[in-house]
Amino acid sequence: MKKIMLVCSAGMSTSLLVTKMEKAAAQKGEEVEIFAVAEAEASKHFEEIDILLLGPQVRFLKSKLEKQLEGKNVPVRVIESIDYGMMNGEKVLETALQAL
């Protein structure tokens, strides 16, 4: 089972996106665990995730998080603003799975 972590400022705005991604995963028969955390909590989950997705509003954290995840083989991607704004769970899930 793949673990996908979404990170945003407070972990709030991404929770709706998580729900939509879970729904899309269920429809596709993908076995994934998806959860959202605030930026301050992200490092607590580094050992258990397969990919980290950043909300567009925290894209500035990408290089910092990539450095922290160095050697762990965990890709860090920024969610496209349009997909985030439209809460397109299917597209965001697809992007995450392709990166894996």
Query: Which listed residue (5, 6, 7, 8) is catalytic?
Result: 8
Judge whether 34 counts as a catalytic residue: no
Q: How crowded is residue 8: how many other Cβ atoms within 10 Å of its Cβ?
A: 24
**H-run or E-run covering 55:** none
Whole-angstrom distance, CA of residue 32 vs CA of residue 12: 20
Active site residues: 8
